[in-house]
Amino acid sequence: MTGMYTAEQLARRNRSGWTTVQGILAPIQFVVFIISAILVYQAWQTKQGYEIANASIILKISLLWAITLTGMIWEKEIFGHYFLAKEFYWEDIGNLVAILTHNLYFVVRWLGWSDDAVMATMLFAYATYLINSAQFIRRGIMAAQQRRLAKQAS
C-alpha cells in the first residue's frame, strides 16, 4: 500500500486507543484555542479581562501538553519513536515550535513583562499553533483517504 502509512502502521493506528485519545483531545484543544484567542485579543485591545485571558492561556497550554504527551505515546506505538519519527517529522517540528512559543508565557510572566506584552506573545504563540494545526488537519484528511482506499481494496 502506498500512502502516509504502511499497511502495518495503518492497522496499528486503527487499533490504537491513543488514536481515539488524540481524536478527542484535538477538537477540545481547538475550541479552547478559539475561545482563548478571542479572550487574549480582547484583553490586549481593551486593556480589560486579563484574569480570564490568563486562565484561558493556562488551560490552552495544559491541553497542548496533554495532546503532545499522548501523541508521543501514539507515535511510539505506530512508528516506533516517541518523537521525530520520519513519518511525522514536520508535524513534530511544528509541535515543538508551538510548545516552545506557548511556554514563553511562563518566561515572560517570570520576567515581569506587561499584560499587553504577555497577550501579544500569546497571540504569536497561537499563530504557531494554528499553522501546526493545519498540518495535522491535512494529515487527518490524508489518513481518512488512505483508510477509504484500503477498505475498498479489501
Q: Which pLDDT score is estimated for 96?
A: 94
Predicted TM-score (pTM) of the model is 0.85
| Radius of gyration (C-alpha) of the chain in whole angstroms | 18
Residues 6+ apart with CB under 8 A from 70: 18, 21, 22, 25
In this prediction, residue 2 carries a pLDDT of 52
Residue pLDDT tens, the chain, 154 long: 456 788 898 889 889 999 999 999 999 999 999 999 999 999 999 999 999 999 999 999 999 999 999 999 999 999 999 999 888 888 899 999 999 999 999 999 999 999 999 999 999 999 999 998 888 788 778 777 777 777 777 7
pLDDT at 1: 41
Rounded CA-CA distance 43/46 in Å is: 5
Cβ-contact 93, 28 below 8 angstroms = no
Q: At 84, which helix (H) or strand (E)?
A: none
